[in-house]
Amino acid sequence: MPPPLTTTASPWGPISALLLNAFLWGIAWWPFRWLSERGLHSLWATSAIYLVAWLVIVARQPSSALASLRHPGLLALAVASGMTNTCFNWGVSTGEVVRVVLLFYLMPIWAVLLARVLMGEPLRALSIGLVLLAVVGAGIVLWRPGVGVPLPASRADWLGVAGGMLFALTNVLLLKHASAASASRAAAMFAGATVIPAVVALAMAASGADVPLPALQSGALLPLVLVAVLFLAGNLALQFGAARLPTRVTAVIMLSEVVFAALSAVWLADEVLTLQMTLGAALIIGASLLSALSSRR
């Protein structure tokens, strides 16, 4: 959760910072796939990357960071954040990037439902309309001729859906525990993103699934460190930008992640943006965009 909104002379610095964060997340699938090809599955890579971020937080503010371990609400935040990163990074590193990212951005559905259940917020007509719009978009993205009801067709698809749901839960928990120290919240999220992927990887490896134990090639260690530094820089950029712009503006700018993901997937992974995918994307992004703009109320 970013610190309270502050003023800034020019919005271009915060906007640039948010675009940097969206760009890094939009192309995150590529370094995860590169590392996986060199012996480090995306789950282990996620754990290693966020361990660096967690250590930085602890080094800067050890008391506030370690306090998160004694706060039940922040432990729930840690689990939600850890599962979000587990699902998203695993999904984009193994599946069709654009599909996974779009399914992840079904967040308006989950945000509305979770805010109702956990925060007691009323269901407004606009919220229900946005949910329906996102559902129609998802149906178009998932539809395959002769298959029947459009449901996720692969593990990567399900990971994208689950990741978006868990990210919505993370945001609701951030709002619910806004009174906790910023360093404590950040430490909880980074700790969860360190521990949860490693636990899932161990469980999958023990069950004989396709998640081998780490065997990183020697030449890939420096790129791993570089990716960790870039992810930390992206998080700092997000905090800088989100602290200086209205929430609705931040949400709209962060939707550019879908654009970066789509362009990078077409360029680097030879994915094809069909008319069906484009139409579904327009509805899903439109739902997220309207949700962000309606937050001014």
Q: What is the pLDDT of residues 205-217, one digit of tens each?
A: 888 778 888 888 8
Q: State the pLDDT at residue 4.
A: 44
Domain ranges, residue 130:
12-294
Does some domain include residue 2?
A: no
pLDDT surpassing 50 at residue 16: yes
Does some domain include residue 5?
A: no
What band does 7 get if pLDDT is binned at 50, 70 and 90? Answer: very low
Q: State the pLDDT at residue 148.
A: 65
Does some domain include residue 4?
A: no
- Mean pLDDT over 122-151 rounds to 82
Residue-wise pLDDT for 178-206, tens only, equals 777 777 888 888 999 999 999 999 999 88
Closest-CA residue to 36 (of 27, 26, 46): 46
Q: Using CA atoms in the order 29, 34, 39, 43, what is the torsion angle rounded to 10 degrees?
A: -10
Q: State the pLDDT at residue 242.
A: 78
Q: Report the number of distinct structural domains present in the chain.
A: 1
Residues 6+ apart with CB under 8 A from 248: 292, 293, 294, 295, 296
Residues 6+ apart with CB under 8 A from 59: none
Does some domain include residue 166?
A: yes
Does some domain include residue 48?
A: yes
Note whether 176 and 119 are within 8 A (CB).
Answer: yes
Does some domain include residue 88?
A: yes
10, 205, 269 from 31: Cα distances, Å: 33, 22, 12
Closest-CA residue to 33 (of 98, 89, 86, 87): 89
Does some domain include residue 47?
A: yes
Residue-wise pLDDT for 234-266, tens only, equals 888 887 887 787 767 777 888 899 999 999 999
Does some domain include residue 243?
A: yes
Note whether 270 and 117 are within 8 A (CB).
Answer: no
Length of the chain: 297
- Mean pLDDT over 260-285 rounds to 91
Round to whole Å and give the CA distance between 228 and 209.
26
